[in-house]
Amino acid sequence: MNLTPLTTHLRQEISMASVLLDALEQEQTVLLGKSASAIEHALANKQQSMTDLEKTSQQREAYLRQNNYPANHAGMLACIHDHDPQGHYQLDALWQQLNTLGTQCLQQNQLNGSIIATRRLSVQAALGILRGSEPGHLPCYTSTGQGQIKPDSHSLGQA
């Protein structure tokens, strides 16, 4: 079994995961700013990086399937165990590096998601104030998902 293509796939995946991590870190920076165009640019960079990483992951998975291994984590570990137990191709080190980058990307993406959620709540609170609702008042919806208009609690009567 020629392991050179697998080594190449893993190195490409590591490179793409590093690019994605950089894009996620850039996204965090622009999310903390106020430039809508910068946010759109960062999102486009992140999306492209995710697409590129997915393509390289698919190449590794195809290689594993072609060599009769499941295209998953267990399959990769079995391939490493069967064909590179001495570490001549550094498959285990590359696989660990890729997994570490994947974890970092996940954590950064979750952090970015929490920044977005916090900003969204702030915007919703500001809109609620502008609409005249009380702070912390959550909108109510009907079973069909339509907004339910509740009478103002401060009204003195209805006509």
The answer to whether the pTM exceeds 0.85 is no
Query: Considering its fold, how many domains does the chain have in total?
Result: 1
Is 144 part of a structural domain of the chain?
A: no
Is 119 part of a structural domain of the chain?
A: yes
CATH code assigned at 13:
1.20.58.300
Is 142 part of a structural domain of the chain?
A: no
HSE (CB half, 13 Å, CA atoms) of 92?
11
Q: What is the pLDDT of residues 55-64, one digit of tens each?
A: 999 999 999 9
Is 32 part of a structural domain of the chain?
A: yes
Length of the chain, please?
159
Cβ-defined contacts of 87-96 (< 8 Å, 24+): 89/3, 89/4, 89/6, 89/7, 90/7, 91/3, 91/6, 91/7, 91/10, 94/7, 94/10, 94/11, 94/14, 95/10
Domain that holds residue 36: 4-131
User: How far is it, in rounded angstroms, from Cα 19 to Cα 27?
Assistant: 12
Is 34 part of a structural domain of the chain?
A: yes
Is 153 part of a structural domain of the chain?
A: no
Distance between terminal CA atoms of the chain?
84
Is 149 part of a structural domain of the chain?
A: no
Is residue 91 within 8 A of residue 7, CB to CB? The reply is yes
Q: What is the pLDDT of residues 110-123, one digit of tens each?
A: 999 999 898 888 88
Q: What is the average pLDDT score of the chain? A: 88
Q: Does residue 2 carry a pLDDT above 70? A: yes
User: How far is it, in rounded angstroms, from Cα 132 to Cα 126?
Assistant: 10
Is 118 part of a structural domain of the chain?
A: yes
